[in-house]
């Protein structure tokens, strides 16, 4: 259920080099705080500071930047048809369309124009009010769109499946009811023969992850057949991979922290088989990584910004036998204080999963990186997006290319313009996806703050980008 905000915003204490560090720290006790449905926002209870803080623009592009092809604003707070926060920004792309969902609105753009082709509340899409937490993916195997969200009383899930590859041609909607209750932080994925939605079950499973495995062929023909299972204990859910190019089925992959969102020195890769049944099989591989820990703080000019939630993966992509994912968490380089962007590339092409690459998006001391997402192109380069802030930079959206030779080129695409007042939660999602029309152009959806942080909050932005040139030397 939605809760109206009745207190002032909470201040949680809490050129980009590629950094490799040896990380050591004590883990803090695990937290089990639900993200939950969006909260209604009353702007009149927030007041501006006694003196305005001048806007500060982020630093210029590093390493030649990236080539921005299309860049346009998505659904902002005032257009979300919700009066609630945060927006839960996410988007997906096909050959011709970009679809964005936020709390509680759907928008379809012409991919190469930014023209809005459809703009409607989720209640119109699902035929009933939704509690929010929406997420959209484009299944390039089946040429279909999937949109999930809370149902009307936040005890189940809605799922919409497009009639074909054109999201303007309508959706078949389904209602998943026996999912445990309050299926929080739900994230969809797919492979050749199934659609998956993972979530935190705050009903019957003590907040541990649960997975709804949906028969894809049945859903595409208008019938809902699904199975709910509970893997090994995991908090903040386990994003199912979007299995691009899968033509076999039979296996689904998940990547998460190794049990909690407090921190650790391993990440968990989960293999799921026999998923269209009541007796699925799970195989778990814990991969050693450099130490990470829940961050303590993030700054903005004139104050601070919440870091809740961090230390959780939010999306996983599979391409050419490899998984990629990212999360925000603190590292030893600054004493586990500020969140940085951690990304991982994992080989699952036969045999035991193997960590191929890990790295840290670290713009420098005192700079916070939040809501990172990553995707891989057909050459093995990574495209990333994140939100960035510091004592001299308002909350801004950035993108970057990480080349196979280690060079990292970066670019600010939506500079923050004002103070972030309603700072009790940073959001739930961001997305980075690969354009299926060429398998080399990256698309990103993320958030930034407009000039008036008291009302012009949680703007969203959509950007496509690719390499300007092939770098010859590592930075």
Domain ranges of the chain: 18-466
* Tens digit of each residue's pLDDT (9 = 90 or more) over 307-331: 999 999 999 999 999 999 999 999 9
Beta strands, E only, 249-315: 252-257, 263-273, 281-293, 298-300, 303-305
Q: In the 8-state DSSP scheme, what is residue 310?
A: -
The pLDDT score that the predictor gives to residue 15 is: 30
116 CB neighbour count, 10 Å cutoff: 15
Q: Which residue has the tokens 């695409």?
A: 413
Beta strands, E only, 167-277: 171-176, 183-190, 194-201, 209-215, 226-229, 241-243, 252-257, 263-273
* Tens digit of each residue's pLDDT (9 = 90 or more) over 121-167: 999 999 999 999 999 999 999 999 999 999 999 999 999 999 999 99
- Residue of 294, 268, 302, 296 lying closest to 283 (CA atoms): 268
Q: How far apart are CA 46 and CA 6, in angstroms?
A: 10
Q: Mind listing the pLDDT tens digit of every residue in the chain (475 residues)?
A: 232 222 222 222 223 333 322 222 333 334 566 777 777 655 444 444 433 444 445 566 777 678 999 999 999 887 888 877 778 899 999 999 999 999 999 999 999 999 999 999 999 999 999 999 999 999 999 999 999 999 999 999 999 999 999 999 999 999 999 999 899 999 999 999 999 999 999 987 778 999 999 999 999 999 999 999 999 999 988 999 999 999 999 999 999 999 999 999 999 999 999 999 999 999 999 999 999 999 999 999 999 999 999 999 999 999 999 999 999 999 999 999 999 999 999 999 988 999 999 999 999 999 999 999 999 999 999 999 999 999 999 999 999 999 998 899 999 999 999 998 888 888 889 999 999 999 999 999 999 998 887 777 779 999 999 977 554 544 3
Q: How far apart are CA 30 and CA 263, in angstroms?
A: 8
The pLDDT score that the predictor gives to residue 470 is: 52
User: Considering the domain 18-466 in this protein, what is its CATH number?
Assistant: 2.130.10.10
The pLDDT score that the predictor gives to residue 301 is: 96
The pLDDT score that the predictor gives to residue 70 is: 96
Is 444:431 a contact under the CB 8 Å cutoff? yes
The pLDDT score that the predictor gives to residue 469 is: 58
For the chain, the distance separating the N- and C-terminal CA atoms, rounded to the nearest angstrom, is 49
Secondary structure element (H or E) that encloses residue 124, with its range: helix 122-126
Phi then psi for residue 147, to 5 deg, are -130, 125
């Amino acid at each position: 259920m939605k809760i109206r905000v009745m207190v002032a915003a909470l201040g949680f204490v809490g050129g980009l080099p590629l950094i490799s560090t040896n990380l050591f720290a004590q883990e803090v006790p695990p937290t089990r705080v639900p993200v939950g449905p969006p909260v209604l926002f009353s702007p009149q209870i927030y007041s501006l500071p006694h003196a305005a803080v001048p806007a500060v623009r982020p630093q210029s592009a590093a390493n030649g930047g990236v080539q921005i092809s299309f860049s346009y604003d998505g659904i902002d707070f005032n257009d979300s048809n919700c009066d609630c926060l945060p927006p839960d920004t996410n988007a997906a792309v096909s050959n011709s369309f970009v679809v964005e969902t936020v709390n509680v609105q759907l928008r379809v753009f012409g991919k190469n124009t930014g023209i809005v082709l459809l703009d409607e509340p989720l209640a119109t899409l699902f035929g009933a009010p939704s509690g929010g937490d929406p997420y959209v993916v484009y299944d390039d195997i089946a040429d279909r769109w999937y949109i999930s969200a809370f149902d009307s009383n936040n005890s189940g899930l809605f799922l919409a499946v497009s009639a074909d590859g054109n999201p303007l041609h309508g959706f078949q909607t389904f209602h998943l009811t026996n999912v445990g209750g309050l299926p929080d932080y739900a994230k969809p994925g797919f492979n050749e023969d199934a659609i998956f939605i993972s979530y935190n079950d705050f009903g019957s499973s003590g907040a541990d992850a649960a997975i709804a495995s949906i028969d894809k062929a049945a859903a595409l023909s208008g019938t809902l057949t699904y199975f709910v299972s509970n893997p090994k204990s995991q908090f903040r859910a386990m994003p199912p991979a979007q299995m691009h190019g899968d033509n076999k089925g039979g296996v689904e992959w998940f990547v998460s922290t190794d049990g909690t969102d407090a921190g650790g020195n391993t990440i968990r890769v989960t293999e799921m088989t026999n998923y269209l049944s009541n007796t699925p099989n799970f195989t778990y591989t814990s991969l050693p990584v450099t130490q990470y820990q829940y961050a303590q703080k993030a700054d903005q000019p004139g104050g601070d910004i919440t870091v809740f939630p961090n230390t959780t993966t939010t999306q996983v992509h599979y391409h050419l036998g490899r998984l990629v994912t990212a999360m925000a968490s603190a590292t030893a380089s600054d004493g586990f204080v500020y969140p940085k962007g951690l990304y991982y590339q994992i080989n699952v092409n036969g045999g035991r999963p193997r960590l191929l690459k890990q790295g840290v998006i670290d713009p420098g001391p005192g700079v916070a990186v939040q809501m990172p997402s990553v995707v891989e192109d057909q050459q093995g380069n990574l495209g990333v997006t994140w939100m960035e802030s510091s004592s001299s930079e308002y909350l801004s959206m950035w993108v970057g290319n990480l080349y196979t030779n280690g060079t990292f080129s970066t670019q600010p695409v939506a500079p923050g313009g004002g103070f972030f007042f309603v700072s009790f939660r940073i959001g739930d999602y961001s997305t980075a996806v690969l354009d299926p029309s060429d398998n080399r152009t990256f698309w990103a959806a993320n958030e930034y703050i407009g000039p008036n942080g008291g009302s012009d909050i949680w703007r969203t932005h959509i950007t496509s980008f690719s390499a300007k040139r092939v770098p010859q030397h590592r930075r």
